[in-house]
Homo-oligomer: A and B are copies of this chain.
Amino acid sequence: MKIGIIGAGSIGLLFAHFLNDHHDVTLYCRRKEQADAINEKGIKLINKDIRSVKKVSATCSLKSLVKEQLVIVAVKQYGIRAVVDQLKNVPMNIPLLFLQNGMGHLDDLKTLPYTSIVLGTVEHGAYRLSDHVVHFTGCGRTILAMYRGKSELSFTFAKQLSKQGFPFEATENYEKMLMDKLIVNAVINPLTALLQVKNGQLVTNPYYFQLMKSVFYEVANVLELTDQDDEFRRIVSICEKTGENYSSMCKDVMEGRQTEIDGILGFLLKKAEGKSYPLSLLKFLYNAVKGME
Which residues does A use to contact B, with CB under 8 Å?
194-195, 205-208, 210-211, 214, 278, 280-281, 283-284, 287-288, 290-292
Contacts and interface: CB of A to CB of B under 8 A. Distances in A.
Contacts of A208: 287-288, 291
B194 A287 contact: no
A214 B288 contact: no
Contacts of A278: 278, 280
A26 B137 CA distance: 56
A211 B287 contact: yes
13 contacts: A194-B194, A195-B292, A205-B291, A206-B291, A207-B287, A208-B287, A208-B291, A210-B287, A211-B284, A211-B288, A214-B283, A278-B280, A280-B284
A211 B291 contact: yes
With most chain B CB atoms within 10 A of its CB, the pick from A205, A211, A280 is A280
Nearest to A217: B280
Nearest to A278: B280
Nearest to A212: B287
- Copies held by the complex: 2
A278 B280 CA distance: 9
A28 to B, nearest CB: 33
Contact of A284 (B206, B284, B287): B284
A207 B291 contact: yes
A292 B208 CA distance: 9
A283 B217 CA distance: 14
Contacts of A283: 210, 214
A205 B205 CA distance: 29
A281 B194 CA distance: 14
A194 B291 CA distance: 12
A280 B205 contact: no
A82 to B, nearest CB: 24
A290 to B, nearest CB: 4
Nearest to A194: B194
